[in-house]
Structure 1
Amino acid sequence: MPIRFEDRTARFEGACTVEEAIPLAEWLCAVEEPRLDLGGCTVLHTALLQVLLAAGRPIAVPPEDAFLKGWVTPVLRGARTA
């Protein structure tokens, strides 16, 4: 599974696909103070990006992937200040 849910941490690994959007949204609603670890994520489907934007939670571990680090991380950080 591309997203592993461990207590209060969601660990994104490899290619995270649209199939993970509903489980992620449900987990974010159920967990108090969720921690998001995108360190191992190499592909983030736009549905997951939308869930993360709607949740407005901080990213604890940013992605190492150059594209995600340069383009997606700033968007997610900006969503928290809006």
Structure 2
Amino acid sequence: MHDINTFLPFWEGFSVVTIKPDGDALQIDLTPHTTRLPSCGGCQKPCSTTHEYCERVVRDLPILGRAVRLSVLLRRVGCRDCGKRMENVS
């Protein structure tokens, strides 16, 4: 079986977990790669501590005429310089 992440290159550092129909739309669930350290959204330095996980829903461009919603699991990190911040997303 092929890795779906090679065919659907969404956000750098995130993997597609599921793709499911949601009415007239598609919902695509993304989670961060566990092997990649998150970086602070403020100073962009790598952070080794994760304070919590937050789910965000983002509208994306349609695929084959269907609306697309990305459900993204983001990390809130504990930065030594900035305090608690959302991770940087490229």
Instruction: Quickly name the TM-score band, shorter chain normalised.
Output: under 0.3
Q: TM-score, normalised by structure 2?
A: 0.24
Structure with bigger gyration radius: 2
- The structure carrying a bigger helix percent of its residues is 1
